[in-house]
């Protein structure tokens, strides 16, 4: 009887040890599950990389690179990208301290203008050259219509405060003109409608005048590229 009891005890202990060794610990199981649940952090699409933005009046340029650096007016900075609803924001950072110095914001992914702060300065996207003949480094200018040298031209005047206020006179090819002012990205129309051209305006040989509402925009000759008018200097674009 003692032998039977002893044998039974040995078998019970052996079975218990086998079950204990075969079952994985709850601690290891939890660790494996946590590792499987880890996912890479998603990143915002960098729509700025490879783009260049200009403010011609202030002679400023933003050029974004894929290596997360941006050149602004000849100085290289770092930048990061974030998305806020439909807006894309480039945070321009100090190359040494990595603290934020400026932000450059696009309202949508397809935007062709952006706003830099502080200052609310408007920049326009610089399109890649469409010249299919790179050897043609001296393309001929479009001939000027001697009867209407204003047609298809745009004239801009900066108030001298870093492009924050810009006055624009834009002539179409169908005898209409838009005369407006842009202040920190907000456009205010001053006149929009038809215009008429007067050749040899005020009996001055070669001088042209274009009626812009109750005003007359005057250029000294058909090939003029700048003119003083209304206390501002307008540049032909």
CB of 234 closer than 8 Å to CB of 155: yes
Domain boundaries, the chain: 52-125, 154-236
Q: Considering the chain, what percentage of its residues have pLDDT values greater than 70? A: 73
Q: Which of 147, 184, 150 minimizes the C-alpha distance to 165?
A: 184
Between CA 171 and CA 223 the distance in angstroms is 15
What would you report as the CA-atom Rg of the chain, rounded to the nearest whole angstrom?
A: 35
pLDDT at 171 exceeding the cut of 50: yes
User: What pLDDT does 33 receive?
Assistant: 42
For residue 150, give every residue at least 6 positions away whose Cβ sits within 8 Å of its Cβ, in sequence order, or none. Answer: 171, 177, 195, 197, 208, 210, 217, 219
pLDDT mean over 189-212: 92
Average pLDDT over residues 52-61: 87
Share of the chain above pLDDT 90, in %: 46
Question: Distance between CA 153 and CA 11 in Å, rounded?
Answer: 102
Average pLDDT over residues 27-51: 59
189, 178 contact by CB (below 8 A): yes
Residue 118: asked if its preceding bond is cis (omega within 30°), the reply is yes
How much is the pLDDT for 34? 46
List the single range of 22-26, 70-74, 136-140, 200-204 with lowest mean pLDDT: 22-26
- Across 15-19, 66-70, 167-171, 184-188, least confident range: 15-19
pTM above 0.75, yes or no: no
Neighbour tally for 105: CB within 10 Å: 15
Contact 236, 228 (CB under 8 A): no
For residue range 80-115, list pLDDT tens digits in order. Answer: 999 999 999 999 998 788 899 999 999 999 999 999
25: confidence class by pLDDT, cuts 50, 70, 90: very low
Q: Specify the pLDDT at position 185.
A: 74
Give me the pLDDT at residue 139, please: 54
The mean pLDDT value of the chain amounts to 79
């Amino acid at each position: 009887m003692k032998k039977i009891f002893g044998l039974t005890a040995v078998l019970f202990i052996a079975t218990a040890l086998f079950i204990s060794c075969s079952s994985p610990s709850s601690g290891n199981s939890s660790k494996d599950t946590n590792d499987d649940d880890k996912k890479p952090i998603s990143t915002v699409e960098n729509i700025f990389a490879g783009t260049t933005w200009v403010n011609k009046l202030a002679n400023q340029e933003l050029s974004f690179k894929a290596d997360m650096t941006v050149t602004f007016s000849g100085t290289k900075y770092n930048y990061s990208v974030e998305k806020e609803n439909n807006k894309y924001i480039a945070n321009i950072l100090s190359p040494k301290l990595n603290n934020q110095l400026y932000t450059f914001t696009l309202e949508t992914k397809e935007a062709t203008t952006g706003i830099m702060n502080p200052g609310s300065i408007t920049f326009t996207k610089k399109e890649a050259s469409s010249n299919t003949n790179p050897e043609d480094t001296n393309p001929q200018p479009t001939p000027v219509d001697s009867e209407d040298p204003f047609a298809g031209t745009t004239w801009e005047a900066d108030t001298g405060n870093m492009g924050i206020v810009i006055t624009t006179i834009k002539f179409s090819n169908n005898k209409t003109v838009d005369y407006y002012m842009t202040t920190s990205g907000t456009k205010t129309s001053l006149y929009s409608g038809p215009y008429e051209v007067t050749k040899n305006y005020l009996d001055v040989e070669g001088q042209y005048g274009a009626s812009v509402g109750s005003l007359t925009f005057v250029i000294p000759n058909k090939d003029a590229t700048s003119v003083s008018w209304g206390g501002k200097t307008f540049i032909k674009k």
